[in-house]
Structure 1
Amino acid sequence: MSDPKNRSVTRALRIVDALSKRDGVGVSELAEAVALPVSTVHDYLQALRSTGHVVKEGSDYRISTRFLEIGHRGRRRREIYTAAAEELPAAAEETGEQATLIVEEGGDGVLLAVAEGEGAVDLPAYPGARVPLYANAGGKAILAHVDSERLETLLDEQAFEPITKRTVTDPDVLREQLGDVRERGHAVDRGERIAGFVCVAVPVLDRGDTVRGAICVCGPESRMGEERREAILSTIRRVANITQVNMDYV
Structure 2
Amino acid sequence: MHVKVLDESVVRRAKQRGLDALVYAPHFTRLPDIRETARRFSDDELLVVPARELFTGTWRTRKHVLAVGLSDPIPDFLTLAGVMEELRRQDAAVLVPHPEFLTVSLDIADIRQYRETLDGVEVYNPKHWARHNDRAREIARETGLPAFGSSYAHLPRTVGEVWTAFAETPADEEAFVDLLRDGAPRRVFHRDGPTHGMRCAAEFAHLGWENTYKKFDRIYLQGTEPTHPEHIFYDGRFGDVRA
**Structure label with greater radius of gyration:** 1
Instruction: Determine if the TM-score, normalized by the shorter chain, exceeds 0.5.
Output: no
Q: Return the structure number with greater relative CO, CA threshold 8 A, min gap 6.
A: 2
TM-score, normalised via structure 2 length: 0.31
Q: Greater helix percent: which structure? A: 1
